[in-house]
Chains A and B, each alone.
Chain A
């Protein structure tokens, strides 16, 4: 009696264990749906900058294509690059282009950079009872972030803002603590305009910051700025607007003072020469209206798709995102892709194949 029951119990325990072990060892491949109506699940991750827009585009696209489910997680641009290289996701998204080394390291062959949207990096500051408008030139900006200009009433800031009373508050620099595409665009700009920054700090998604405090994510920086009087930091324009932060007017390549806006961002993209692989830096772009700290966000897609059904769904969605999907941009403070670029992107999407067959005609 006892023996039987306990055997049963042991059996159950063993069974549960065996199940759980089999469960984690098993690696069933997802069956590829060939029919168009078959549900397709896509997983992507990367840039937190495109997340709000992408999220909305996905929801909108699903209304007309209910069988396509796209799961996009904002893990950060670096994670997007890493995971697409390791093929743990179906596509990535980044706001700093992949380097040559990273492209060779990708396990699934050639990766295409599909421009998704455009973003501007705003220089936000917190000066209680301070000026509504503040002008900061490239040299002054670099020296603030290098920790060389430490108070707001510094002579050099005053010279650029005649007639403005500046407090003697200490400057607290706020920057991203996590690696990010925003940091990449910002440091790309400072590297382009300031030799000292270029040699001391350089550009990258994570930096060795000479000064300041770090906040995690755009929101972390926005929080640090809101909560620290006398602070200055960089963040995506959308976050600055959403958090009602004041942002500085910068001096562009032509010497003009330009505030960040969707128009001045688009102007930067329109003025830049964009190569065929779309990997381009548009910081310090020429053009009188161009805002100097702007950049693209790209989707990262393998040119040769392993799974035909997934590949087709992905390419169709991206094609929609760069055309009709762009209409969602401005409401969320993203700049539209220039029309001239969209047709080139479509050509690029047509070059994506699976088993030698193009996925989009």
Chain B
């Protein structure tokens, strides 16, 4: 094979990879651009301050849906983060190789792959039917099930990155294992764990399917965690499937807010990660 042909082929392949990357980015800008253009005009102070109004009444907002999403994500985090982080500690610090940790890792992967709508169905039959009503708790619980495997995975990765010599140094000094884990390993990996947690939060805040049969939705403020509660993705979905142009407008604005939330979380997570690696 002559060199010119090889060089030519090399240039061509490099070109192809660049083009592939550009193609991959087209939909991103397509989606973001459309959401921004359609959403921005409906985004005003009312949107963030007011409750949804009935059709034909101006000044309706999605304040309760935004707060509802925040509340359920908080519930999910309160359950999902401790469970996920502790389980990941077990997998890295206590038992890396036994059949139990292999099984737990496998379960984590399976749970990551489960369609979120199935989580909704299970929580509906197990929690909503038993409690007798839809609630913010049921919604938060459903989100926590989606969150747990994400947290386990990212935390495990981060704990594995902590150098083995730090652990050994700790043992050599006669420090107990618990202290090594809580005072040395966790703080060392903290930024990475927080990054993973934030990405998990970003991921669950956009979930629609598991909330349809658990949180239900609410056009007013929920006064307790035992009541149905509004959520931003669910509200977007409902407005998008209504026949009224005004509500479509709100759906776009809601999408914009949701995407902004997700992007900001991702940016902060990235930033935290960057400052760690520098």
Chain A residues near B (Cβ < 8 Å):
2-3, 5-6, 9-10, 13, 16-17, 19-20, 23-24, 27-28, 30, 41, 43, 45, 48, 51-52, 55-56, 58-60, 69, 71-75, 86-89, 216-220, 222, 238-239, 242-243, 331-332
Contacts and interface: CB of A to CB of B under 8 A. Distances in A.
A45 B216 contact: yes
A50 B54 CA distance: 13
B129 to A, nearest CB: 6
A71 B64 CA distance: 13
Given A43-B216, A56-B55, A88-B129, A5 B183 contact: yes
A73 B78 CA distance: 27
Interface in B176-218: 176, 178-179, 182-183, 212, 216-218
Nearest to A19: B78
A60 B56 CA distance: 12
A83 B55 CA distance: 26
A59 B242 contact: no
Nearest to B219: A71
B259 interface: no
B218 A218 contact: no
Contacts of A220: 241
Given A13-B86, A41-B227, A88-B133, A72 B183 contact: no
A2 B175 contact: yes
Taking each of A19, A69, A331, which has the highest tally of chain B beta carbons within 10 Å of its own beta carbon? Answer: A69
A19 B78 CA distance: 9
Given A19-B78, A43-B228, A219 B134 contact: no
Given A16-B82, A24-B141, A219 B242 contact: yes
Contact of B82 (A5, A17, A24, A73): A17
Given A6-B179, A88-B129, 10 more contacts: A2-B175, A2-B179, A23-B137, A24-B79, A41-B227, A52-B54, A52-B243, A59-B53, A219-B240, A242-B244
Contacts of B273: none
Closest 9 CB pairs of A and B: A217-B241, A56-B54, A242-B243, A239-B243, A59-B54, A6-B182, A219-B241, A73-B217, A20-B79
Nearest to B184: A2
A13 B133 contact: no
Contacts of B137: 23-24
A216 B241 contact: yes
Interface of B: 53-57, 75, 78-79, 82-83, 86, 127-134, 137, 141, 175-176, 178-179, 182-183, 212, 216-220, 223, 225-228, 238, 240-245
A331 B226 CA distance: 36
Contact of A59 (B57, B78, B128, B141): B57
A10 B182 contact: yes
A19 B240 CA distance: 37
A75 B212 contact: yes
A30 B226 contact: yes
B219 A27 contact: no
Contacts of B55: 52, 55-56, 332
Contacts of B132: 27, 87-88
Contacts of B56: 56, 331-332
6 contacts: A16-B82, A52-B242, A56-B55, A88-B132, A219-B243, A242-B245
B225 A13 contact: no
A55 B238 CA distance: 13
A256 B68 CA distance: 52
Contact of B78 (A16, A43, A72): A16
A52 B86 contact: no
Contacts of B128: 88
B216 A74 contact: no
Contact of B244 (A5, A23, A52, A88): A52
| Max count, chain B CB within 10 A of own CB: residue among A2, A19, A30, A86 | A2
A86 B273 CA distance: 48
Contact of B127 (A20, A24, A43): A24
A323 B97 CA distance: 71
Nearest to A241: B243
A16 B84 CA distance: 13
Contacts of B183: 2, 5-6
Contacts of B133: 43, 88-89
Contacts of A52: 54-55, 242-244
B179 A23 contact: no
A16 B132 CA distance: 25
Nearest to A55: B54
A89 B216 CA distance: 10
Nearest to B57: A59
Given A2-B179, A59-B53, A222 B243 contact: yes
